[in-house]
Amino acid sequence: MKRIIYGFIVLLSAIFIISCVDEDYYQESRLCNVVELSLKGQISNTIVAGADNDTGFVYIGMPNTVDLKNIAVNNVVFSPLSKCDKDVKSIRNFTNDICFKLTAEDNDVSKVWIVRVSYGNAPKQLPFSNMKQWTVALNSLGVPITTMGTTAYFPGNGIDYSPWQHAARANQMNFFFSVNPRPDAADADYACMETKLYNGGAAMGYGIVTGAIYTAVFRYDAKHLPGIGSDPNPRKMVDFGTAFYYKPTAIKFKIRYKGGDTLRDGRGNAVVGGKDSCDIYVILQNRTQDTNIWYRVGAAWLRTSEPMGDFNNNNGFQEVTLPIIYGEPSASVLNQKPYMAIGGIKGEVVFYKFVQNGDDYDKYEMQEQYADPSMPVDNIIVTFSSSAYGDMFLGAPDSRLDIKDIEFVY
């Protein structure tokens, strides 16, 4: 009975958190700003809002292979409750500047915005990969993500496009953030990911919270929350991947890792004989060859329970270089690293395609297939996680993964 009552209290708390809106929310309508306007396959994106009475600009770079007359809009977010005089989501032709006006809810303030799309050279490195620059994390309405007086941060500068995000919006339910810049946002040197036990969720089986940072957009959706959602599945809130067009030979980074003492399941029970592992992977894909298949052109992977680096030393990072294997891995490689197989070991490596449907998204589990090594690359997924099976609410509290200076080798 106590567990049922406790679960009911947690449920009420979750509903309260989901429905709460910051007092500043309604005032932000008067900003008439573009929070996000992204196109499929973009390689750069800069939003310049300017002052209240200025014209706002969105500068988007696309690779030379893209037809500017037919580009799908990936996502559009304006200041809360502001109104637009055009259906920007339906625009496909970006050969010329796109101009629209945002108006505040009270119709007292408006602002003109210009979207300018041009060709550019795709970068060979992912921006903000050194993990030394972070910006305040915003939710899908453009509101800062906070909990218990603490603010969440994403790698980036708040102006230019960053491919890096984490599950800050869902972490509000736990009253702590599992990914943070360290030593702090103002003087960041690395990304810190931690696995923690959330007692409030243990009664319903999601008491393990894992820190993970990835090239993705975290699209919060309450129906996918475990324990209280109608379709519980954390993966359906992560829109994995970002545009990328090169074939590096390896990825290198600096790392510190230590596993927690006791592996636990989502209810907080100890898993006898189990050990936690960090999970780090790069998957190079081709998503344009077939709309129903994401071809895996290449991959690099590190999953280990062994400690790495020295947490007692500020300079105790260990440099790691992972070679990228193109095409289907050999039997010997899969024997050593069975998690590199499509789908993973326990079906943990699953990706969904997000197709915007009004203000929501339809989500389709994508079929993955190995590609011929000669197939071109147009997308990349990079993930760093403090617990390999965190999506399944399996991990050791106090597992910690620190990462910085991520770089592709050519």
How far apart, in whole angstroms, are the C-alpha atoms of residue 64 and residue 69? 13
First to last CA, the chain: 60
| Tens digits of residue pLDDT in 110-132 | 999 999 999 999 999 999 999 99
User: Which token pair is 143?
Assistant: 């509101």
Residue 362, classed as helix, strand or coil, is: strand
Amino acid of residue 25: Y
User: Which token pair is 20?
Assistant: 């709460």
Closest CA to 300 of 334, 340, 244: 340
Quickly count: other Cβ atoms within 10 Å of residue 279's Cβ: 25
pLDDT above 60 for 9: no
% the chain with pLDDT above 90: 84
- pTM of the predicted structure, to 2 decimals: 0.88
- DSSP tag of 231: S
User: Which token pair is 93?
Assistant: 């032709």
Contact 207, 266 (CB under 8 A): yes
Find the DSSP H helices in 157-267.
Answer: 168-171, 199-202
Residue range 171-183: mean pLDDT, rounded: 96
| Tens digits of residue pLDDT in 205-241 | 999 999 999 999 999 999 999 888 999 999 999 999 9
pLDDT at site 212? 98
- Split at pLDDT 50, 70, 90, the class of 21 is very low
Same fold, 27-119 and 134-409: no
* CA dist 207 → 98, 200, 255, 270 (Å): 47, 7, 26, 12
Find the DSSP H helices in 157-306.
Answer: 168-171, 199-202
Return the domain boundaries, the chain: 27-119, 134-409
pLDDT above 60 for 18: no
Strand-strand pairing, 110-119 and 56-62: parallel
Contact 62, 68 (CB under 8 A): yes
Closest CA to 139 of 220, 46, 240: 220
Question: Alpha-carbon torsion 193, 194, 200, 204, what sign?
Answer: positive
- Split at pLDDT 50, 70, 90, the class of 13 is very low
Query: Which residues lie across from 150 on neighbouring strands?
Result: 147
Largest CA distance in the chain: 67
**Range name among 20-34, 87-101, 149-163, 239-253 with the lowest pLDDT average:** 20-34
Residue range 244-272: mean pLDDT, rounded: 97
Residue 219, classed as helix, strand or coil, is: coil
Q: Does domain 134-409 have CATH number 3.40.50.1220?
A: no
Instruction: Say which residues have a Cβ less than 8 Å from residue 191's Cβ, sequence separation at least 6.
Output: 131, 155, 179, 180, 181, 182, 213, 384, 402, 403, 404
pLDDT above 80 for 2: no
User: Which token pair is 257?
Assistant: 């890792």
Strand-strand pairing, 164-165 and 153-155: unpaired
Instruction: Say which residues have a Cβ less than 8 Å from residue 45's Cβ, sequence separation at least 6.
Output: 37, 38, 39, 58, 59, 60, 61, 160, 161
Contact 208, 264 (CB under 8 A): yes
Quickly count: other Cβ atoms within 10 Å of residue 108's Cβ: 8
pLDDT above 60 for 17: no
Quickly count: other Cβ atoms within 10 Å of residue 33's Cβ: 21
pLDDT above 80 for 371: yes
Query: Which residues lie across from 364 on neighbouring strands?
Result: 353
Closest CA to 290 of 209, 223, 353, 201: 353
Q: Does domain 27-119 have CATH number 3.60.21.10?
A: no
Closest CA to 71 of 100, 91, 46, 53: 91
* CA dist 163 → 128, 129, 157, 235, 383 (Å): 8, 9, 12, 17, 11
Which residue do the tokens 């899908």 mark?
140
